Amino acid sequence: MRLNLITCFGTMMAHLGKGTLWKPAPTEKIADNLYAINDKGDVNLFVYTDGDNTICIDAGYWSSRHLGEEFGKVGLNPSSVSHLFLTHADMDHGGGIDCDSKTDWFKNSHVYISEIESNIVKGLIPRKKIAKIISVKSPVEITRPMNIVKDGDVIEVGNIKVEVIATPGHTPGQVSYLINGEILCIGDTLNLENGKVKPFYKFWNMDHETDIQSVKKLAKLKNISVLCTAHTGWTKDWDNAIADWRWVKISLP
């Protein structure tokens, strides 16, 4: 992991934000085949398994040793994850497969990531610009092979189908994943507040207006059985959660 301003500030804010900004679900079974895994009381990973195949959305923090215990609480083993889908590559989502991580929970996994996020972790694109002058690289560095995904791709893992939905804004290359047409995992695209969808925190978004457009895009989806957010839990009441966004026009190209 690269040590820089993002590493230091992000670690501090993750600690200070617990229970206030960050309210992830506990490790628990959400529905048939779907589980939330809590990492450090700060972020959720989501696991879907049909018994034959197991996939995971995001990888949690760098060197997060207790993830094995968390998986065990719901009878799962992170080493059984064959396909790992990263929504984006921030330290709390991609740190678990950083090249310097002291854990290897996902060593058997094929990794999927958008091209822009891949270039961010390679250091080719800055994760943050300060005062439009200083470019700061992502603290996460992934050197293992990565499969590039784009909007509209559908990856089949046995009987599991994962559709890629581009939802930039929080980061330029963030994507959401729709599992079997009904389970929506959105990373840091949006939050749940009192059961209602809100854009992700403006302070943390690289482009807040683009993030809002991504929320509008997701609002067009129907028949969602579970909405899974990284930091504010999940809901099975998609229609109520997204209702305020249904009438808003999309201005994304």
The three state secondary structure string of 57-99 is ECCCCCCCCCHHHHHHHCCCCHHHCCEEECCCCCCCCCHHHCC
How buried is 186 (Cβ within 10 angstroms: 0-12 exposed, 13-18 middle, 19+ buried)? buried
pLDDT the model gives residue 126: 74
Other C-beta atoms within 10 Å of 32: how many? 7
SS3 call for 19: coil
Written as tens digits, the pLDDT of the chain (253 aa) is 655 445 544 555 555 555 567 899 999 999 999 999 999 899 999 999 999 999 999 999 988 888 999 999 999 999 999 999 999 999 899 999 999 998 999 999 999 999 999 999 998 887 766 656 566 778 899 999 999 999 999 999 999 999 999 999 999 999 999 999 999 999 999 999 999 999 999 988 989 999 999 999 999 999 999 999 999 999 999 999 999 998 766 554 4
Which domains occur in the chain, in start order? Answer: 5-245 (3.60.15.10)
pTM for the whole structure? 0.91
How many angstroms separate the CA atoms of 122 and 104, rounded? Answer: 20
CA nearest 214: which of 240, 248, 183? 248
